[in-house]
Chain A
Amino acid sequence: NAGVTQTPKFRILKIGQSMTLQCTQDMNHNYMYWYRQDPGMGLKLIYYSVGAGITDKGEVPNGYNVSRSTTEDFPLRLELAAPSQTSVYFCASSTETYTEAFFGQGTRLTVV
């Protein structure tokens, strides 16, 4: 049972480049989330999804896009990378919004 899998673990991007952070879960969870973690700050919600085909913005969505074509996958897209997007990104999933959350291992992204 793999849980929540994120790829890549590390990535360096140049300003203006694009990339997709992959997230997949094998627990058949409806709820999936993308968070970013900045030094000295609590994790912030970027986007979330309550099921396939349904996504919504979180607290800090600017500069990002998501899609949810299947229950398992919830990729996060950065279209024009900026230094402010340097952060550690975590994908998470849960059965309901108020149940235990399972996190991926994180993606450390640096934009230079």
Chain B
Amino acid sequence: KNEVEQSPQNLTAQEGEFITINCSYSVGISALHWLQQHPGGGIVSLFMLSSGKKKHGRLIATINIQEKHSSLHITASHPRDSAVYICAVSARTGGGADGLTFGKGTHLIIQP
């Protein structure tokens, strides 16, 4: 079973700062997902990646398959980025579906 570890658990930063959230996993995967969850809200998929790097606006996600590690970066952070960011991994299985294995999340607060 894959183990997914995120760091830090909590992060408070000032508006404009560059943010990095890290995720490591224990066994090989087919894809890694970064998800965002606002307080009291649903979960939204930000990125799904299996290699390299992806960018959406101010968000950048990278993955190193050999080191079993991924990072989520936020440039020019803004208070509306305040949310819980969740790393999850999926494995390609033979005939069934094991769903996603999730990290515990990183609670990010951006202060004005």
List residues of chain A with CB under 8 Å of any chain B CB: 31, 33, 35, 40-45, 48, 50, 56, 58, 90, 92, 97-106
- B31 at interface by CB-CB < 8 Å: yes
The complex places the Cα of A21 from the Cα of B31 at a distance, in Å, of: 29
Given A98-B91, A100-B33, A106-B43, answer yes or no on A56-B100 (Cβ-Cβ < 8 Å): no
The complex places the Cα of A35 from the Cα of B102 at a distance, in Å, of: 10
Given A42-B103, A97-B92, answer yes or no on A31-B44 (Cβ-Cβ < 8 Å): no
Asked if B86 and A42 sit within 8 Å, CB to CB, the answer is: yes
Given A42-B4, A45-B99, answer yes or no on A90-B43 (Cβ-Cβ < 8 Å): yes
Shortest CB–CB separation between residue A57 and chain B, in angstroms? 11
Chain B residues, CB < 8 A from A50: 96-97
25 A–B pairs (Cβ distance < 8 Å), ordered by A: A41-B104, A42-B4, A42-B88, A42-B101, A42-B104, A43-B88, A43-B102, A44-B102, A45-B99, A50-B97, A56-B97, A92-B100, A97-B93, A97-B98, A97-B99, A98-B90, A99-B48, A101-B33, A101-B45, A101-B88, A101-B90, A103-B35, A103-B42, A103-B43, A103-B44
